[in-house]
Amino acid sequence: MNALASGQGPDVFMIPNTSFGRQGSKLVAVPQKQFNVARLRELFPTVVEQDFTYGSDIYALPLYIDTLALFYNRDLFDQAGIVNPPQTWDEFQEMIPKLRSVDQSAGSCARRRARHVEQNVPASADILSLLMLQNGTQMTSDDLRSATFASHGSSGVAAFKFYLQFADSTSPYHAWSSAMPSAVDAFVGGQVAMMPEYREAADTIKKKSPFLRYALAPMPQATGGTAVNYAQYKGLPFRRTSKNIEAAWTFVIDATTQKGVAQAYLTATGRLPALKSLLSDKVNDVNVGVFARQILTARSWYQADDVTIAAALNNAIRSALSGEATPLEALKQAEAQITVLMRPTTE
C-alpha cells in the first residue's frame, strides 16, 4: 500500500473483496470497451458485482472465491447420537444441549459452537454479517452514505442478539468464552463440535491433526428463508497511476476469464473457482464441494474500510457481552462509527 501511495507499486495486485471501499481511490475502472457489467454477470457469481463494481464501472476481477461452511466433529456427533449436521440455526440450537452433555460426560467443560470474541474467533465479524444478511437486514443505505443495520428495522438487532447468546453465560445456549483458544485450535483439540470457517481452515486442521475425524456441511440457514452464504476472496485490480491501463486490464481479464489460465491457478493453489463455468466440476468434490455449492448464493455488503468495520463490530460484541451497553446500544454505536467512514470527507 505504501508503494502504491508513492506511485511505485505494481500495476496489478490483489485486494480482499471487503476492502474495495478502502482502496477504491487508488484504483481505476476497466474501459467498458474491454469488459462490461453484462459480461461480468455472465461469467461470475452475483457477489463479484456486489463487491467490485460501482454503478456501471468494474474495478477488479477474482481468480477464486471462498465461503464460510460448517466444520463438524464426527466423533462428537456420533457420541451424541446426532446423525446429520444442522441445516438451520434452529436445529443448530437444538443440538447444543446434546453436544454439551457429551463434553460433560467426558469430564471437560462444555464449550460448543459459536465464535464470539475477536481474539479467538478471527471470522467473528463475518459470521455476524452473515447472520444479519440471512435475516434480511439492510446493511447500508441505498446511496452507500450510511450504515443501517441497527436502525433499519429490527432484523439486524435480532441477528446480533442471536449471535451473542452463545457467549452469554446466562443463556441456555452458552457455548463459548474468551478463555477458549482460537476457534481452529479448539476444534482440532476436540473442545468444540462445530465451527464456521473458510476452506483454508481445512489446511490448518490437516497440518495440526491429520487424523481428526471431521466433515463439512453447508452453513446453517434461517428457517424458511432463502439461502444466503458469505464470501471471502481477493480480486485483481490495478492502480490509478498505472501507465499501462489497457495492457494491465488485458492481463487481468485473461487471467480471470480464460478457463485454462484460471484452472492452472486453482490447481496450483487448491482454491475454489470464481468462474461459473468451472464451478460444476467442483460441486461434487468430497473435499471442496460444500464451499463450491455455496458460491452462487454468497453475498456481501459494501465496506468503506473493512479493517475498521470489523473492529467496530467486535467492539459491539465485547460491549454487549460485558454489560457496558445493551445489544441495541452497542450495535447502534458500531453503526454510527461505520457511517462516519462512509460519509464523504467534505461533509
What is the phi/psi pair of residue 330, to 5°?
-65, -40
pLDDT tier at 132 (50, 70, 90 boundaries)? very high
Mean per-residue pLDDT, 17-22: 81
Please, are residues 176 and 113 in contact by the beta-carbon 8 Å criterion? yes
Strands 214-217 and 69-73: antiparallel
Burial of 345 (0-12, 13-18, 19+ CB in 10 A): exposed
Separation between Cα atoms, residue 279 and residue 301, nearest integer Å:
23
pLDDT tier at 231 (50, 70, 90 boundaries)? very high
Residue ranges and CATH numbers for the domains of the chain are: 2-65+233-299 (3.40.190.10), 68-229+304-342 (3.40.190.10)
What is the phi/psi pair of residue 332, to 5°?
-65, -35
* Long-range CB contacts for residues 75-82, cutoff 8 Å, separation at least 24: 75/190, 75/213, 76/102, 76/190, 76/193, 77/193, 80/193
Q: Tell me the three cell numbers of residue 330.
A: 452497542
CB-facing half-sphere around the CA of 148: CA atoms within 13 A: 16
Question: Which residue in the block uniquely carries the three cell numbers 471470522?
Answer: 123
Mean pLDDT taken over the chain: 88
Please, are residues 215 and 74 in contact by the beta-carbon 8 Å criterion? yes
Please, are residues 285 and 292 in contact by the beta-carbon 8 Å criterion? yes
Encode pLDDT of 30-58 as tens digits: 988 999 999 999 999 999 999 999 888 99
Encode pLDDT of 191-229 as tens digits: 899 999 999 999 999 999 999 999 999 999 999 989 999
Encode pLDDT of 256-282 as tens digits: 999 999 999 999 998 999 999 999 889
**CB within 8 A of 306, min separation 6: which ones?**
16, 18, 19, 21, 22
**CB within 8 A of 177, min separation 6: which ones?**
111, 116, 117, 167, 169
- Using only C-alpha atoms, what is the Rg of the chain? 21
**Low-confidence winner among 14-23, 102-111, 136-145 (lowest mean pLDDT):** 102-111
